Amino acid sequence: MPDQPITQQSGFSFFQRERILEELAGGQFDVVIIGGGITGAGIALDAASRGLKTALIEKGDFAGGTSSRSTKLIHGGLRYLKQLQFHVVAETGRERAVVHRLAPHLVVPRKMMLPVLKNGSMGKGMIWMGLTMYDLLAGVRGDDRRRMLSKEETLQKVPLLPEEKVKGSGYYAEYMTDDARLTIEVVKTAVRHGARVINYTEVTDLLYDEKGKISGVHCTDHIEGRTLTVQGRFVVNAAGPWVDDLRRKDNSLKGKHLFITKGVHLVFNKETFPLDNPIYFDIPDGRMLFLIPRHGITYAGTTDTPYTGDKDDPPVLKEDVDYILNAIRYLFPSLPLEEKDVLSSWAGIRPLIYEEGKSASEISRRDEIFVSEHGLISMAGGKLTGYRKMAEDVVDKIVKMGGWREKKHCLTKDIPLTDHPFSGVEEVLSFTRALQNGTGGFPDHEVAEMVMKYGRIAEELLAAARESGQKPVIAEAEYALDHEMVWKPLDFLERRSGRLLFDLAGVQEELDGILEIFATRHGWDKERLKKEKETVEKRIREITPPFTSLQG
Ligand code: FAD
């Protein structure tokens, strides 16, 4: 454990905005990165750790785009096997192992079940062959290697499955994460390596030198409304679904372009949807769906439909909810799930690279770097899972173009994503068990969730909650304000703590207390507090039933 309690150390906080903005405006950076999702965060960490002077600028909150709205898995890339992209399976398998090693509390192995169903599209032989190839290509080791389960073993693990429909299952390892927490941890690690990072600041224009070469960005700070210029030798466009908007500003949106699809997830109470083992199953339309239990809840997703609406706020529609509910009913005909059982939900948009003649779910999830004639470097496509390797590829390119030979080695394979790392899964488990057996009296699932989100810091947060007699969410809010650059209550509720998605009832119970902390710290008056509460309540209405239908 660190000498000084982490919660008392000075951190990366909103209250340092002024200083950071001044440093951004006054600095000449080697690399300026646009976008604070996992892609931009990964690039910032890679560049800063190689000693490049790095700036990262995010228009909203970190992970406010796609990087808080995924299925939250660090995939081994099984779906790429179906698309015969063997090198992608191999690479994602390797990356999965690296990211797990860097944050074993936050990238957690879970055994995934692939049920073999009567009349299903995947037979036992096909699943066995697929998983065997997957193990070989992805370099899967030890306990993570696939097994085939008999019908009896399958039903023992998931008693909800209909006996008459199940013939057995494949059993293999996936890794569960919290995408928004992974992003903020990468951001914080980049800051520890010297990157200057700011949120709620939008890049509105690109700047060019007299030769027409990109030389920086012009931004607007959305909190104070002021504008600033940040100079950079290289500018990286890591704007996810907004990548083409910036390429358009650069006058370089030619040839390949993005194709955006929407994916929705639904969250259910563990009592209404009792599942202990994650499942990945094929549905009659040929797509596959995940069902994932996570500390006290079960979530299901995802849909995959072309999307052209508001990129900042993709909605969860009744049609999306019906699609997922129908898929769940197909696997579990006896489970009486309805729209009203949805506890909360989220919708995300995938920035895919368009491929002529392919449907949404057939398009590859591969990443690609485009360098425009003016020098704008755009990173398009990709996955949460591959963020570290994508960053390495971009920074390798920058180092080469910049002639920085001494910085050619990527270091991020060995940079843990926390100041206080665990040695591995075993240590995470024993740490969690010790906290669960401690004197706090908090439910086991809440303790496990806290360790997943905060690692060793969970111990301090739970101790603070115990001493004050308040719920852990209050200590979390204080921590987020001091150490994780939150501005609005929703930054904390949705992305730092994930509680709006996974503990909505708890949030509703403690909302006034949480808002009070924000009001005190920010000096908000009653009017402002009321407005913030309305914003949170509006968000809750959007992610809970009844959902709006496309048909009106
Ligand atoms: P984003 O997270 O969207 O970040 C881009 C950022 O750029 C945004 O925060 C935006 O505000 C900012 N920005 C845009 N314009 C500007 C500007 N002008 N100035 C400043 N900032 C700007 N991958 C996996 O590996 N595992 C999964 O389980 C998985 N599941 C998925 C499920 C769904 C439904 C979806 C949609 C995706 C899933 N993915 C998954 C893919 C993964 O989530 C994305 O590839 C990844 O999050 C993209 O990150 P990004 O940083 O490129 O984009």
Q: pLDDT tens digits for 162-216?
A: 999 999 999 998 999 999 999 999 999 999 999 999 999 999 999 999 999 999 9
Q: Where are any strands of DSSP class E within 90-226?
A: 108-117, 147-149, 166-176, 196-198, 201-208, 214-221
The β-bridge partners of 348 are 263
CA of 250 to the centre of ligand 1 (A): 21
What pLDDT is attached to residue 3? 53
What pLDDT is attached to residue 144? 81
Residue 2 has pLDDT above 60, yes or no: no
What pLDDT is attached to residue 363? 67
CA of 44 to the centre of ligand 1 (A): 15
Q: Which ligand 1 atom sits closest to the C-alpha of 39?
A: 51
For residue 493, give the DSSP letter.
I
CA of 68 to the centre of ligand 1 (A): 8
CA of 335 to the centre of ligand 1 (A): 33
Cα(41)–Cα(181) distance, integer angstroms: 12
Half-sphere exposure of 458 (CA within 13 A, CB side): 28
Q: Which residues line ligand 1 (CB under 6 A)?
A: 34-40, 57-60, 64-67, 69-73, 75, 202-203, 238-242, 263, 302, 348-350, 382-385
What pLDDT is attached to residue 362? 66
pLDDT band at 8 (very low <50, low <70, confident <90, very high): low
The whole-chain average pLDDT of the chain stands at 93
Q: Where are any strands of DSSP class E within 118-209?
A: 147-149, 166-176, 196-198, 201-208
Please list, in sequence order, all residues whose beta carbon lies within 8 angstroms of the beta carbon of residue 179, skipping any fewer than 6 positions away. Answer: 38, 63, 67, 68, 69, 70, 72, 384
What pLDDT is attached to residue 10? 57
CA of 8 to the centre of ligand 1 (A): 32
Please list, in sequence order, all residues whose beta carbon lies within 8 angstroms of the beta carbon of residue 150, skipping any fewer than 6 positions away. Answer: 168
pLDDT band at 354 (very low <50, low <70, confident <90, very high): confident
**Are the C-beta atoms of 156 and 166 separated by less than 8 Å?**
no
The one-letter amino acid at 98:
V
DSSP 350-367: EEEEP-TT--GGGS---E
What pLDDT is attached to residue 140? 80
Q: Which of 261, 320, 383 maximizes ligand 1 atoms within 8 Å of its Cβ, making it the mutation to test the pocket? A: 383
Over residues 76-132, the pLDDT tens digits come to 777 777 777 777 778 888 899 999 999 999 999 999 999 999 887 778 888 888 888
**Are the C-beta atoms of 82 and 226 separated by less than 8 Å?**
no
The one-letter amino acid at 50:
R
Query: Dihedral of CA 289/340/489/60: which sign?
Result: positive
Cα(351)–Cα(258) distance, integer angstroms: 6
pLDDT band at 7 (very low <50, low <70, confident <90, very high): low
Over residues 226-253, the pLDDT tens digits come to 999 999 999 999 999 999 999 999 999 9
What pLDDT is attached to residue 1? 41
Cα(273)–Cα(401) distance, integer angstroms: 53
Q: What is the mean pLDDT of residues 45-49?
A: 98
What three-state secondary structure class fits 282? strand
First to last CA, the chain: 55
Counting beta carbons within 10 angstroms of the beta carbon of residue 171, is it exposed (0 to 12), middle (13 to 18) or buried (19 or more)? buried
Half-sphere exposure of 58 (CA within 13 A, CB side): 28
Cα(419)–Cα(456) distance, integer angstroms: 10
Q: Which ligand 1 atom sits closest to the C-alpha of 261?
A: 36
Residue nearest to atom 9 of ligand 1 (CA): 65
User: 538-545: long-range contacts at Cβ-Cβ below 8 A with a sequence spacing of 24 or more?
Assistant: 539/490, 539/494, 539/500, 540/344, 540/500, 540/504, 540/508, 542/315, 542/316, 543/316, 543/344, 543/345, 543/346, 543/500, 543/501, 544/342, 544/343, 544/344, 544/345, 544/504, 545/321, 545/339, 545/340, 545/342
Residue 426 has pLDDT above 90, yes or no: yes
